[in-house]
């Protein structure tokens, strides 16, 4: 672990602690303690995932603000040629905001806590997506089976006219 990673992890945990929030559910806390004791690597993976998601959320927020600015700009210029001669009311693009400790290439380190955080987070999120897709497909099959017509619902071909 590098000194930078040590600082990033310490600062991250400090932010989590200082965030506070609602009271801690003692049963959930006990269960987490038990699970982390039984699976010590989970504590590391959860911290990596949360650290990475903090940065991913900041990047997603930047992208949303950029797209909103582009839409506002397109609407205020009156279309493709509306801004040809300039528009003095246009505002500057929104500045990028980053999660604490951000620097370009932060997750490109390849090894260690930060370098593998992206891989860990993507693997976990991918697992959630695959699990959700499978559950959806299975639920879809069950709903289709319930909605399928039975022989009792079939129209009578032997109508007496």
CA nearest to 117, candidates 57, 62, 58, 50:
50
| pLDDT, tens only, 54-101 | 888 888 888 898 899 888 888 776 655 655 555 555 678 888 887 777
Q: What is the pLDDT of residue 27?
A: 94
Tell me the whole-structure pTM to 2 decimals.
0.56
Contacts of 117 (CB under 8 A, 6+ apart): 48, 49, 51, 52, 107
CA nearest to 124, candidates 41, 17, 7:
41
Mean pLDDT computed over 40-47: 89
Q: What is the pLDDT of residue 150?
A: 57
Q: What is the domain partition of the chain in residue ranges?
A: 36-78+96-145
Q: Calculate what percentage of the chain has a pLDDT beyond 90.
A: 12
Question: What are the C-alpha distances in Å from 75 to residues 5, 11, 14?
Answer: 44, 42, 43
Q: Calculate what percentage of the chain has a pLDDT beyond 70.
A: 58
Q: Is residue 112 within 8 Å of residue 47, measured between CB atoms?
A: no
DSSP per-residue codes, the chain? --HHHHHHHHHHHHHHHHH--SPP-HHHHHHHHHHHHH-HHHHHHHHHHHHHHHHHHHHHHHHHHHHHHHHHHHHHHTSTTTTTT--TTPPPPPPP---TT--TTGGGS-SHHHHTHHHHHHHHHHHHHHHHHHHHHHHHHHHHHHHS--GGGSPPS----
């Amino acid at each position: 672990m590098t000194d930078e990673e040590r600082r990033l992890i310490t600062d991250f945990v400090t932010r989590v602690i200082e965030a506070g929030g609602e009271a801690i559910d003692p049963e959930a806390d006990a269960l987490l303690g038990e699970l982390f004791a039984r699976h010590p690597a989970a504590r590391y993976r959860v911290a990596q995932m949360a650290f990475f998601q903090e940065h991913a959320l900041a990047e997603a927020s930047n992208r949303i603000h950029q797209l909103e600015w582009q839409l506002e700009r397109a609407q205020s210029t009156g279309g493709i040629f509306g801004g040809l001669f300039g528009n003095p009311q246009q505002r500057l693009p929104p500045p990028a905001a980053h999660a604490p400790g951000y620097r370009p290439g932060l997750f490109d380190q390849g090894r260690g806590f930060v370098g593998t955080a992206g891989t860990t987070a993507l693997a976990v999120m991918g697992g959630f997506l695959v699990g959700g897709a499978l559950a959806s497909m299975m639920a879809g099959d069950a709903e289709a089976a319930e909605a399928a017509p039975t022989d009792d619902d079939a129209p009578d071909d032997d109508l007496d006219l």
